[in-house]
Amino acid sequence: MYVSPDELLGLEHARITLRGEYGVAVDRGRIVREAVAALLADLDARGRDSILVKRLSGS
């Protein structure tokens, strides 16, 4: 899996926010795995109205 430098920076920011504001200590890989799981669950539950379909289709 490849991510851009900006996406890596976003992941690092999310990791720091999770730790600093919410007391949740996780690594970037865990954040990515949870994000993928959430998107796939949303796709299963909402189909055409899912976030993934909307973002990939440009809607």
Read off the pLDDT of residues 27-55 as tens digits, 9 standing for 90 and up.
Answer: 999 999 999 999 999 999 999 999 999 99
Provide the token pair at 37: 């799981």
Considering only CA atoms, which of 31, 5, 1 is closest in space to residue 16?
31
Q: Kindly state the tokens that stand for 50.
A: 């899912």
CA torsion angle 17 22 23 25 (round to 10): -50
Type of residue found at 32: V
Percent of the chain with pLDDT over 90: 95
Cβ–Cβ under 8 Å, residues 14 and 33: no
The mean pLDDT value of the chain amounts to 96
CA distance 44 to 12: 28
